[in-house]
Amino acid sequence: MKILIDGMGGDFAPEEIVKGAVKAAAEIEETVVIIGPEKAINDQLRHNRWHGENIEVVDATEVITNHETPAMAVRKKKDSTIVKGMNMLKEGEADVFISGGSTGALLAGGLVVLGRLKGIKRPAIAAWFPRIGKDGNTLLLDCGANVEAKPEYIFQNGLMGSIFVEGITGNSMPVVKLLNVGAEEGKGDELHKEAFNMLKAAGEAEQINFEGNLEGRDIVFGEADVVVTDGFSGNVFLKGSEGMALAIMKQFKSKLTEGIVAKAGAMLAYSKIKEIKDEFDYSDAGGAPILGLKGAVLKIHGNSEATEVYHAIKRAKDYVASDITGMIAEAVEKSAAVIGAKEEIED
């Protein structure tokens, strides 16, 4: 197995990428391939005193930044880590591609180079959402790949998310719920009502473990393992929650250092506060997939440091070993009846 990682993706690349790759490669037998400017990557490998044999370096001279229009950048920068990485996936020179680069470029590159899995209407961007009161994280999708959604996209998000979570966590038949404005059946706009019916049908056919609607406030309490919705509301939910977490942490930090009495208290309570910050942090989530492509792509945060890179490489191994992509292709075929004949003709 070859695990490919984008040596230039993210704010702390290549330093933290290589550092994380070295740490992971020392623990696994699989080959880690780092793609990026050869000299810079090799310099970092030397800096990390790497003497092992399961890291390879593939040269790529260009980098796509977050400031570029994804579609255009993917077309122009043929020697970028993202485009070249996707091509390696396509040619079978790697089994999974990890990147902390532009999500838009990864999606665009994935669509152009790899293409969609047969039967998949649209690939989706997934994200891990922190939760309390229950181990692990919740997979949320779509987080913005398709802001103009159709019910069948949301339905397929349920299939794909369920298979991914089962493959990665070993949690058999994870609970899938639909993000909606109320928990009762019949809530929401036409888009979510129709998606509900499709998910329900797949649940009745035992293709997924669908347990109905849930409201945004219940996600963080772990009421589902997989939460599906359209790319617009998924994105709004994710960023809204993130803003709130940031704001509260910021206020805690500033208030607890205000005044001498409170400061003394803050010093004592500090270790606990850090624990909470870590709990609502995503660094050990190990990368979230772009699902529905003909290839395994894991996106890590742009601000990833070595620890997240390390976890992502280990997760990537499970991603490939569980043959998640193959299982999604199979599930899509089996569930074609749910979407209905009309849609099949359209496809």
Q: Which residues bind a copy of itself (CB under 8 A)?
A: 132, 144, 147-149, 179, 181, 188-190, 192, 215-221, 229, 231-233, 235-252, 255-256, 258-259, 261-262, 264-273, 275-276, 279-280
> 241 or 335: whose CB is closer to a copy of itself?
241
Single-letter amino acid code for the residue at 269? A
- CA–CA separation, 347 and 205 (whole Å): 23
- CA–CA separation, 292 and 79 (whole Å): 24
- CA–CA separation, 318 and 163 (whole Å): 12
Whether the Cβ atoms of residue 55 and residue 45 lie closer than 8 Å to each other: yes
- Write down the least CB distance from residue 83 to a copy of itself, Å: 23
> 53 or 275: whose CB is closer to a copy of itself?
275
Record the tokens describing residue 346, joined without a space.
Answer: 């359209």
Task: State the distance between the two ends of the chain, measured CA to CA, in whole angstroms.
Answer: 33
Record the tokens describing residue 297, joined without a space.
Answer: 């792509």
- Write down the least CB distance from residue 336 to a copy of itself, Å: 26
> 181 or 337: whose CB is closer to a copy of itself?
181
Write down the residue that tokens 């037998």 correspond to. Answer: 29
- Write down the least CB distance from residue 281 to a copy of itself, Å: 12
Burial 248-270 (b: 16+ CB within 10 A, else e): eeeeeeeebeeeeeeeeebeeee
Alpha helix stretches (DSSP H) within the chain: 15-25, 38-47, 70-76, 81-90, 103-109, 151-169, 190-204, 216-219, 231-256, 260-279, 306-321, 324-334, 336-339, 341-346
> 93 or 279: whose CB is closer to a copy of itself?
279
- Write down the least CB distance from residue 218 to a copy of itself, Å: 6
> 52 or 265: whose CB is closer to a copy of itself?
265
C-alpha of 251 from chain center:
29
- Write down the least CB distance from residue 235 to a copy of itself, Å: 4
- Write down the least CB distance from residue 261 to a copy of itself, Å: 6
> 259 or 326: whose CB is closer to a copy of itself?
259
> 243 or 340: whose CB is closer to a copy of itself?
243
- Write down the least CB distance from residue 138 to a copy of itself, Å: 12
